[in-house]
Structure 1
Amino acid sequence: MHKYAELMNDIEQKLEGGEFRAGQKLPSIREMADRYGCSKSTVIRAYTDLEKRHLIYSIPQSGYYAVVKKSGDAMRPDSSFINFASAAPDPNVFPYLDFQHCINKAIDMYKYELFSYGTPQGLPSLVKVLSKLLANYQVFAQPDSIFVTSGVQQALSILAGMPFPNGKKTVLIEQPGYYLFIKLLEMRDIPVIGIKRTASGIDLDELETLFRTKDIKMFYTTPRFHNPLGTSYQEDDKKAIVRLAERYDVYVAEDDYLADLENDTKSDPLYAYGSSRVIYLKSFSKIIFPGLRVGAAVLPPDLRSTFGWHKRLTDIDSSMLSQAALEIYIQSGMFERRKQRIHDTYHRRLQVLNRSLPSGTTWTAFSTLMSMLVSIHIWNFQMASLLVRCMTV
């Protein structure tokens, strides 16, 4: 991580944690430069950015001071309580001020363009930015293959209902899996088949049998950081899934919603092993905030025209204001700094959960326990919170 980002994250955490109290003078520029081993200009840049976001203020010839908290801050969620029942980011670290700045900047830059109809594919300048961003996840996609959606949920809704070139009708899903997608399939009477997923993954022989004998048009999967199991596929399994999809003419919808939390630089998405049958889905809800409702779908050539037409009939376009603000958020470097901060937040949550588990419990055992709860139909997302509380008794 760059010194500038390290400095910004540390100061923000100290402000939120109360180490720098309201009205307290912050260390001098020289002191901070010595402490972090960086130049004075780096400290000045960090302080200036924090001042623009109204987290600190300056007094000429005196220094920088922490801003007094607004009365509304008392309504924010209790940061001492960790809700393990939700996969949403911690509301206490939502980038409110950063994104407010990006929204204001977007209005200044694009003016009337944001308040007229856009295109089904998305804001052209954002699509180009996403093409470069996705390369960081080993998803090398040309702009014409990327569609901006109102979250991954909209992309899944369109994919589930639109016809595919293979002429098949049935959707294959992992069990357990994303419950909102399951409810969507049930509500729209879309044929669906399940394949069991455990802490060890899925049975590839069973997958091949289903691909060969059933009318499977699309296999929806979460290869890494599966919810609720928390496990990821091994690289050999990813490659095997792609090979089977190509052999039996099945499309794979890869939901990579937590790609930003991946530590293993050698862990690639399914898309990296063959893009002709893989639909790559990326959400920004879990890394920024859920209310943003912006996602991205990378589509094979033979799906783009149909997907674009169905998206136009669904909502014409996704929020242009959100798209423009996200573009600025990424271009300015705020997104990279945000990734590091949310990564640190989840790391602290993981440490708390590890301390809460009984001595000797492994993550494999924990995931297996959740699989058992699913199999006897008593698991739901709220059970996670109850389970952790029980473990601490």
Structure 2
Amino acid sequence: MSEERGSLSVRAVRGSAIRDLLAVVEQPGVLSLAGGLPAPELLPTERTARAAQAALASPAALQYGVTAGAPPLREVVHARESTKLGRDAGTVVITHGSQQALSLLAQALLDPGDTVIVEDPGYIGALQAFDTTRARVVGVPLDAGGMRVDELRSILQRERVRIVHTVSNFHNPGGATLTEERRRELARLADEFGFWIVEDDPYGELRFAGPTVPPVAAFSDRVIRLSSASKIVAPGLRVGWMHGDAGVLALVERLKQGADLCGSSLTQAVTAELLADTVWLDGHVETIRSVYGERARALHTALTDAFGDRLRLTTPEGGMFLWGEFADGTATSANLGEAVDAGVAYVPGSAFAVQRDLAHSLRLCFTTSPPDELREAVRRLSTVL
């Protein structure tokens, strides 16, 4: 039977090279730096089990819920977000991970042909969400200070930009954090030109070095913040959220009714308890930061020792990824198969390219391997690259 062509929307969506790659590299003997998963040994199975047992004491945990999300969870998320902003503002919608939040926001705000600005390299999940609306996606270069906000004005003056999407903290894949100066300027531009900023922030609490930077939403009301419990608790809960303008979130809620009626009452009750238990959560997140910091430094040091000035690396301060660019023209896509044969995997930079040529770049994840394995992975990598 021949494969259906599908709708124009699905034909517009690019595939995820990372998802395709994971099926190849998960074989015995391969040390994978390609994924983007939390460390499995840090997932709080016992604490989550106790929260689930407590939730199941009420039949409501197994019943349909309201579309916007369970009120106790919305309340704790609103309190957390308001603390980060330094003011009480915005409303909350709970989503099936922050990826659903991206998808619903794209549908709520974009018409075919509208312009969306993203970082280049870009987060693949965001690119896929915007592709479904057949919007025009424009990439703005990323450097060590995050998105090159200085390049936005000329685009804004000639295009009808509806959304600027930024992974503001510890960018996936670029590893960079948007500086406070650039955050303030991005907020000023949103107020001047009337576009919406989607501040995608799943990694912000995973800082293990350097000072914390205020959210972009601290400087403008034209910001919708996205985050989730996936990186600080567990991705299997599939609990994400958006926080911001009530009018925009009302549009999202209407679309969500047609997407899934409501989220899981059980996992939302579990997540509400875990996020509200601040003594436990603070200690848990601090453990994650400590482990990830050690692993990030081990990987960065090993790469620097192995490749020297040939490989320009982001300096790890948090999150889950390092981004590297070879200065000597090494082609990371062409060498991937040989690397897997040598027992190590990474994601070529071209998988994240919007408009830039990223054929000499790569993304490396440090979260799921201890330092000794990371050093061995770099040794194998050096035999190929």
Q: Do both share a fold (TM > 0.5)?
A: yes
Aligned residue in 2 for 1:95? 44
Counterparts of residues 120-135 of structure 1 (less than 5 Å) = 120-135=67-82
* 1:320 counterpart = 2:320: no
- Measured after TM superposition, the shift of residue 341 of structure 1 is 1.4
Alpha carbon RMSD of aligned pairs, Å? 3.2
State the SS of the aligned residue for 2:282. Answer: helix
Change (3 A) 1:141 1:82: farther
- Measured after TM superposition, the shift of residue 198 of structure 1 is 2.6
Aligned residue in 2 for 1:351? 297
2:60 is aligned, of 107, 110, 113, to 113
Aligned residue in 2 for 1:206? 151
The number of aligned residues is: 311
CA contact (8 A) 1:94 1:289 kept: yes
Change (3 A) 1:244 1:188: closer
* 1:369 counterpart = 2:314: no
- Measured after TM superposition, the shift of residue 355 of structure 1 is 2.8
CA distance in 1, matches of 2:155, 2:172: 23
CA distance in 2, matches of 1:153, 1:208: 28
State the SS of the aligned residue for 1:104. Answer: helix
Larger Rg: 1
CA distance in 1, matches of 2:82, 2:211: 13
Change (3 A) 1:172 1:139: farther
CA distance in 2, matches of 1:153, 1:145: 18
Q: Deviations over 1:233-261 (max 9, x none)?
A: 11101100000011000100001111111
Bigger Cα displacement from structure 2, 86-95 vs 191-200: 191-200
CA contact (8 A) 1:167 1:217 kept: no
- Measured after TM superposition, the shift of residue 370 of structure 1 is 6.8
Percent identity, aligned pairs only? 25
Aligned residue in 1 for 2:189? 244
TM-score (norm 2): 0.72
Counterpart amino acid of residue 123 in structure 1: A
Q: Deviations over 1:127-166 (max 9, x none)?
A: 1111222244336445x601111111001001111147x9
CA distance in 2, matches of 1:341, 1:205: 37
Bigger Cα displacement from structure 2, 371-380 vs 81-90: 371-380
Counterpart amino acid of residue 343 in structure 1: R
Change (3 A) 1:324 1:138: same
Q: Unaligned regions of 5+ residues in structure 1, if any?
A: 1-76
CA distance in 2, matches of 1:82, 1:287: 24
TM-score (norm 1): 0.71
Change (3 A) 1:312 1:246: same
CA distance in 2, matches of 1:326, 1:81: 34
CA contact (8 A) 1:149 1:297 kept: yes
CA distance in 1, matches of 2:83, 2:101: 22
Change (3 A) 1:140 1:229: same
Q: Unaligned regions of 5+ residues in structure 2, if any?
A: 1-25, 316-321, 330-348, 351-355, 367-373
CA distance in 1, matches of 2:34, 2:249: 36
CA contact (8 A) 1:160 1:171 kept: no
Change (3 A) 1:194 1:97: same
